Amino acid sequence: MPIFKTAYNGYGVKFSPFLETRLAVATSQNFGIIGNGRQYVLELTPQGIQELISFDTRDGLYDCTWSEENENILVSASGDGSVKVWDLAAPPHQNPLKSFEEHSHEVYSLDWNTVRRDVFLSGSWDDSIKLWSLGAPGSLRTFAEHKYCVYTVAWNPAHADIFASASGDCTLRIWDVRQPHSTLAIPAHEFEILACDWNKYNDCVLVSGSVDKTIKLWDVRSPREPMTVLQGHTYAVRRVKFSPHHANLIASCSYDMSLCLWDYQAPEDALLMRYDHHTEFAVGLDLSTLVDGLMASTAWDETVYVWQQGQDPRL
Amino acid sequence: MDRALLRQKVLLDHLRPAAGQGTSITGEACATRAGDSGDDVVVVAAYRTPMCKAKRGGLKDTLPDDILAPVLKAVVERTGVNPKDIGDIVVGSVLAPGAQRANECRMAAFFAGFPETVPVRTVNRQCSSGLQAVADVAAAIKAGFYDIGIGAGIEAMSVNPMAWEGSVNPQVEQNLKARDCLLPMGVTSENVAERYGITRADQDQMAARSHARAVAAWKSGRFVDEVIPVATKIVDPKTGDEKPVTISRDDGMREGVTPASLAKLKAVFKKDGSTTAGNSSQITDGAAAVLLMKRSEAHRRGLPILGTFRTFAAVGVDPAVMGVGPAVAIPAAVEAAGLEIRDIDLFELNEAFASQATYCCRKLHLDEEKVNVNGGAIALGHPLGCTGARCVATLLHEMKKRGKGCRYGVVSMCIGSGMGAAAVFEQSD
């Protein structure tokens, strides 16, 4: 599978839930420290990965997610605290369609609800999480219990009202939007937690990735101890994702520049595969929901790779 | 903090991690993501003697080494640390002749039960000596010279008056800054009041509040955890009779002091001035000691931690207005800790004079409900070399009582000849 070269440093990648050949990539100039951002929409073609469209922003973009109800709608998380909404079908001058400007610091994570398809979440370095609907003028709700940057937010795939958040305050929190406060706080790691995701086949199982280099599996019914600890990354784990197709399969990417595939229930060696095609921090990762085994990654080395699980991304 | 710097810091922290949760970066502040490291220097014990009026108070007939020994003993006895494990004892002391005081401190260590193998030295940075001693020990532990040390302070103002010996260098006529080092402290207080518009009423109000808070603190038992009673003697000035006593309370604060009652006092240092005996710090005898070690050492010994020593800064200011020192030193120490002033939950800001303390609070926009909450040197007294260590004890015990929400505390003071010092402490396990 071919490579796509981005102009800026890659931060986030997301497959379209509607079109198996389409993906979005959030990028930032100068490693996201200072400068502009660019939201790419890429298309997998027989001739390689091609740019369908791109949108430029004044500040870096750290994450993106697709609407689950409209195949042309995409949102980006911006360093200036805004959430930009793009419409691929609209003429260029109408984009961004909207810019939600409520967070006071960098927005670092976005996740669209796959059950109730009109709402999405944003997690920010202002320590808060906000719930949005494109139809509403402002955020529907703010969740402010974390004490440091929120790095990842993730909806539960089975329950429309439940989501998890990972924070630099070293806790994972579980939220039910019908409740006034978070319903569970797990002091999951001794160090900052950068990522979390829900198992797609067991709505009680959660995975977290931390600066402590480990990945931990949690069952929300017995949150005192992790079910499993996966060790193998040599620097902070930036993202973790459960496979949409295999209950035990987890993909992770890290500041150690590698991506790993894990079978968390394997009796012996849980690490199935390590990919080292990136040459800088590997910070963006996604698994296609439409094509079993199709993966995408992006990194600070200004590349986007899309490949089939069993193959070498560079071939 | 600059947005780019902040981003760099957040990302860098992902690469060189420190355990423990970060502090919010909301607003412009980017609080240090210090986290708790085993290499941190922490305070595991901090005690002081009662603060007693010089020449009239409870310690007037107690020798300096007998004032110091009880607190040196307390920090090891109450933590169960074997005295032989102490790497150094550093004692702040100002007025006494250097060599004699160094000797007295060495003797005090013996009186306190330390073996001959434990070294002792003194340090003199005027009014910040006690804090400097704590900072020196923290620095030595960080440098790896030893793992456990005591930073202490002593001043026996009953026996060691503030005085100048010998002649003054005539060159001072050509060097105004040097000449201003000779100004009596009270005159520098008048200079601060005049230069920065601190009124007599402002000063008397702070003084009355200091007394009221110290009285309330004793009434509510706020000081009980930090004060070590001193068994000594007291001599009746008329009959010369000695009688054994145990001094367990400060004796400088007075109940019922009001701004109105203080307003009746005469200015001491300047005609029509505003600095009076009532709104200046008291002349006092006292000692304090602080036991410091690496966090890993404290954990190994199973000792509870009072607070983490984060940063220290000493700065120079104009000697003619030496009282402004904290207004420069506090921002320096707080910034070094990666914090902002508003992140600080509690201050022990030495009340050398109400004039300068008021000025510093205003200049830094400090909330008076966070400053000297149990009274300051106007009520309790200012035994020069002891004060810094005394403030560390008072600050950390109060932070503990206030609970986890009281995370960062600052000790600061102005320093004669134009300096300021400040240190930042964090409450952590």
Q: What is the pLDDT of residues B164-182, one digit of tens each?
A: 888 999 999 999 999 999 9
Distance from CA of A211 to the nearest CA of B (A): 6
Angle at B392 between CA B388 and CA B398, to 5 degrees: 140
Q: Which amino acid is at A71?
A: E
* Binary contact (A211, B4; C-beta < 8 A): no
pLDDT score recorded for residue B18: 60
Q: Which two tokens stand for residue B75?
A: 């920090």
DSSP-derived letter for residue B145 is S
For residues A14 and A95, give the distance between their C-alpha atoms in angstroms, rounded to a whole number.
Answer: 20
CATH number of the CATH domain containing A198: 2.130.10.10
- What is the chain B residue with the closest CA to A33? B4
E strand or H helix that includes residue B379 = helix B377-380
CA of B29 to nearest chain A CA: how many angstroms apart? 11
Name the residue facing B19 among A32, A104, A191 (closest C-beta).
Answer: A191
User: Can you tell me the distance from the alpha carbon of A43 to that of A57, in angstroms, rounded to the nearest whole number?
Assistant: 21
Distance in angstroms (rounded) separating the CA atoms of residues A211 and A279? 19
Reported as a pLDDT band with limits 50, 70 and 90, residue B81 is very high
In chain A, which residue's Cα lies nearest the Cα of B9?
Answer: A33
Chain B CB contacts of A194 under 8 Å are 14
Residues of chain A contacting residue B26, judged by C-beta atoms under 8 Å apart? 104-105, 126-127
CB contact under 8 A, B17 and A127: no
* Residues in A touching B23 (Cβ below 8 Å): 147-148
Read off the pLDDT of each residue in A121-131 and give the average, rounded to a whole number: 97
The answer on pLDDT for B1 being more than 80 is: no
**Is the backbone peptide bond immediately before A137 cis, with ω within 30 degrees of 0?**
no
Q: How confident is the model at residue B34 (pLDDT cuts 50, 70, 90)?
A: very low
**Interface with A, mutate which of B5, B7, B28, B295 (most A CBs under 10 A):** B7
- ipTM comes to 0.92
Give me the residue from A32, A147, A236 closest to B21, CB to CB.
Answer: A147
Amino acid at A167: S
Residue A44 has pLDDT above 80, yes or no: yes
Q: Which residue of chain A has the CA closest to B16?
A: A211
User: Can you give the pLDDT at residue B392?
Assistant: 98
**For the segment B92-148, what is each residue's pLDDT rounded down to a tens digit?**
999 999 999 999 999 999 999 999 999 999 999 999 999 999 999 999 999 999 999
Is A315 a domain residue?
no
Strands A303-308 and A3-5 come out as antiparallel
Residues found in chain B: 429
For the stretch B388-427, pLDDT in tens is 999 999 999 999 999 888 999 999 999 999 999 999 999 9
Q: Give the pairing of strands A98-101 and A107-112.
A: unpaired
Query: Residue B331 pLDDT > 90, yes or no?
Result: yes
Quote the percentage of chain A above a pLDDT of 70: 100
Percent residues over pLDDT 70 in chain B: 95
> Would you state the structure tokens that stand for residue B31, as one six-digit string?
């609080």
A50-83, pLDDT tens digit by residue?
Answer: 999 999 999 999 999 999 999 999 999 999 999 9
Contact A190 B20 (CB under 8 A): yes
Give B27 to chain A, closest Cα distance, Å.
8
Residues of B with CB under 8 A from a CB of A: 3-4, 7-8, 10-11, 13-15, 17-27, 33
Nearest to A148 among B14, B19, B24 (CB): B24
- Which residues of chain B neighbour A33 with C-beta distances below 8 Å? 4, 7-8, 11
pLDDT the model gives residue A60: 97
How close A63 gets to chain B, by Cα (Å)? 15
d(CA A304, CA A202): 30
Q: Each residue of A140-180: pLDDT tens digit?
A: 999 999 999 999 999 999 999 999 999 999 999 999 999 98
**Mutant choice from A62, A102, A104, A105 vs B, greatest count of B C-beta within 10 A:** A105
CATH number for the domain running over B2-160+282-423: 3.40.47.10
Give the amino acid at A281. F
Report how far residue B47's alpha carbon sits from residue B71's, in angstroms, rounded to the nearest whole number.
6
Of B10, B11, B24, which is closest to A147 when you measure between CB atoms? B24
Residue matched to tokens 């005192």: A224
The whole-number pLDDT of residue A269 equals: 85
Counted residue by residue, chain A has a size of 315
Of residues B289 and B5, more confidence is placed in B289
> Which pLDDT band holds residue A315 (cuts at 50, 70, 90)?
confident
Question: Phi and psi for B337 in degrees, rounded to 5?
Answer: -85, 0
Dist CA B97 CA A159 (whole Å):
76
* Contacts with B17 from chain A: Cβ below 8 Å: 191-192, 211-212, 236
Q: Which of B4, B14, B26 sits opposite A105 (nearest CB)?
A: B26
Taking 90 as the threshold, does the pLDDT of residue B266 lie above it?
Answer: yes
CA gap A110, A105 in Å, rounded: 14
Q: Hey, are the CB atoms on A127 and B10 less than 8 Å from each other? A: no
Containing structural domain, residue A289: 4-308
Statement: residue A282 has pLDDT above 60: yes
How close, in Å, is residue A165 to chain B by CA atoms? 15
User: What pLDDT is attached to residue B19?
Assistant: 57
Q: What's the pLDDT score for residue B32?
A: 38
A313: in domain: no
Q: Which residues of A touch B14 (CB under 8 A)?
A: 192, 194, 211, 235-236, 238, 255
Residues of B annotated as catalytic are 127, 382, 414
What residues of B are in contact with residue A127 (Cβ under 8 Å)? 24, 26
Of A31, A104, A236, Cβ closest to residue B17: A236
pLDDT score, position B27: 38
Q: Does residue A262 carry a pLDDT above 70?
A: yes
Residue A314 within a domain: no
Report whether pLDDT(B60) > 80: yes
pLDDT, mean over chain A: 95
Q: What's the mean pLDDT in A2-12?
A: 94
Residue A232 lies in a domain: yes
List alpha helices for B2-151, DSSP H: 3-15, 64-77, 98-111, 129-143
- The pTM score is 0.59
The beta-carbon neighbor of B22 closest among A31, A104, A168 is A168
> What is the Cα–Cα distance from A150 to A122, expressed in whole angstroms?
9
Q: Is the dihedral of CA A29, A33, A36, A39 positive or negative?
A: positive
pLDDT tens profile B363-384: 999 999 999 999 999 999 999 9
| pLDDT per position as a tens digit, B203-221 | 999 999 999 999 999 999 9
Q: ∠ CA(B209), CA(B307), CA(B369), 5° rounding?
A: 20
Alpha carbons within 13 A on the beta-carbon side of A232: 21
Q: What are the CA-CA distances from residue A24 to residues A7, A39, A64, A194, A292 (Å)? A: 14, 7, 7, 21, 18
What is the identity of the amino acid at B159? V
User: Å from A172 to nearest chain B CA?
Assistant: 12
Angle between helices B354-363 and B185-196 (to 10 degrees): 40
Q: Which residues contact B168 (CB under 8 A, 6 or more apart)?
A: B182
Our CA-based measurement puts residue B28 at a distance from the nearest CA of chain A, in whole angstroms, of 10
- The CA distance from B291 to B86, in Å, is 9
Please give the Cα distance from B159 to B141 (Å, whole number): 33
Tell me if A192 and B14 make a contact (CB, 8 A cut-off).
yes
Q: Say if the Cβ atoms of A148 and B13 lie within 8 Å.
A: no
Interface contact flag, A255 B15, Cβ < 8 Å: yes
**B344 to chain A, closest Cα gap in Å:** 16
C-beta separation of B31 from B20 below 8 A: no
Measured between alpha carbons, how far is B186 from B130 in angstroms, rounded to an integer?
A: 22
Cβ distance of A147 and B19 shorter than 8 Å:
no
Pairs across A and B, CB distance < 8 A: 69
Q: Residue B211, Cα to own-chain centre: how many angstroms?
A: 18
Mean pLDDT on B69-90: 97
State the Cα–Cα distance between residues B250 and B49, nearest whole angstrom.
8
In this predicted structure, the answer to whether residue B28 has a pLDDT above a threshold of 60 is no
Q: Do B25 and A125 touch (CB under 8 A)?
A: yes
Is the Cβ–Cβ distance between A130 and A124 less than 8 Å? yes
Q: How close A45 comes to chain B (CA, Å)?
A: 35
Question: Is A208 a member of any domain?
Answer: yes
Nearest to B14 among A32, A104, A194 (CB): A194
Q: Which of B4, B15, B21 sits opposite A168 (nearest CB)?
A: B21
pLDDT the model gives residue B20: 54
The whole-number pLDDT of residue B428 equals 79
- Beta-sheet pairing, B346-349 with B408-415: parallel
Q: What CA–CA distance (Å, rounded) separates A7 from A303?
A: 9
Per-residue pLDDT, B105: 98
Question: Would you state the torsion angle of the CA atoms of residues B395, B401, B405, B409, taken in this order, to the nearest 10 degrees?
Answer: 0
pLDDT recorded at residue B33: 39
Residue B23 pLDDT: 54
Angle between the N-to-C axes of helices B384-402 and B129-143, in degrees from 0 to 180, rounded to the nearest 10: 70
Residue B369 has φ and ψ, to the nearest 5°, of -75, -5
Q: Do B22 and A148 touch (CB under 8 A)?
A: yes
Q: Which residues in A have their CB inside 8 Å of a CB on B?
A: 31-34, 79, 104-106, 125-127, 147-149, 168-171, 190-192, 194, 211-212, 235-236, 238, 255
CB contact under 8 A, A149 and B18: no
HSE, side-chain direction, 13 A CA sphere, residue A25: 35
pLDDT surpassing 90 at residue B86: yes
Mutate to test the interface with A, among B25, B36, B404, B429 (most CBs of A within 10 A): B25
**Total of domains in chain A:** 1
